[in-house]
Amino acid sequence: MQSTLFSLPARARALPGMEPDGKLIWTYREAMVPDAMPKSLLVVGSGAIGIEFASFYRSMGAEVTVVEVMDRILPVEDEEISKFAHKAFEKQGMKIMTGMTVTGLKKNKDSVTTSLAPSLPLPLEGEGSAQKRAGGGGLELTVDRVILAVGIVGNVENLGLEGTKVKVEKTHVVTDQWSQTGESGVYAIGDLTGAPWLAHKASHEGVICVEKIAGQKDVHPLKVANIPGCTYCHPQVASVGLTEKAAKEKGHTVKVGRFQFMGNGKAIALGEPEGLVKTVFDAKTGELLGAHMIGAEVTEMIQGYAIAKTGELTEGELMHTVFPHPTLSEMMHESVLDAFGKVIHM
pLDDT of residue 168: 92
- Is 35 in the same domain as 136? yes
pLDDT of residue 125: 43
Estimate to the nearest angstrom the gap between the alpha carbon of 68 and the chain centroid.
Answer: 14
- Is 240 in the same domain as 316? yes
pLDDT of residue 8: 59
- Is 178 in the same domain as 272? no
- Is 216 in the same domain as 300? no
Neighbouring-strand partners of residue 114: 105, 141
Residue 13 lies in a domain: no
Residue 275 lies in a domain: yes
Q: Give, to the nearest 10 degrees, the angle between helix 330-339 and helix 298-310.
A: 50
- Residue 59 lies in domain: 25-148
Active-site residue set: 325
Residue 262 lies in a domain: yes
CATH code (residue 80): 3.50.50.60
- Prior bond of 196 cis (ω within 30°): yes
Other CB atoms within a 10 A radius of the CB of residue 80 amount to 17
**Which segments of the chain have a pLDDT < 50?**
124-135
Instruction: Spell out the alpha helix ranges (H) of 171-231.
Output: 199-213
**Residue of 118, 115, 151, 149 whose CA lies nearest to 132:** 118
Q: Give the three-state DSSP class for 253.
A: coil
pLDDT of residue 235: 98
Residue 52 lies in a domain: yes
CATH code (residue 314): 3.30.390.30
The number of folded domains in the chain is 3
Q: Which of 148, 175, 198 is the last residue of a domain?
A: 148
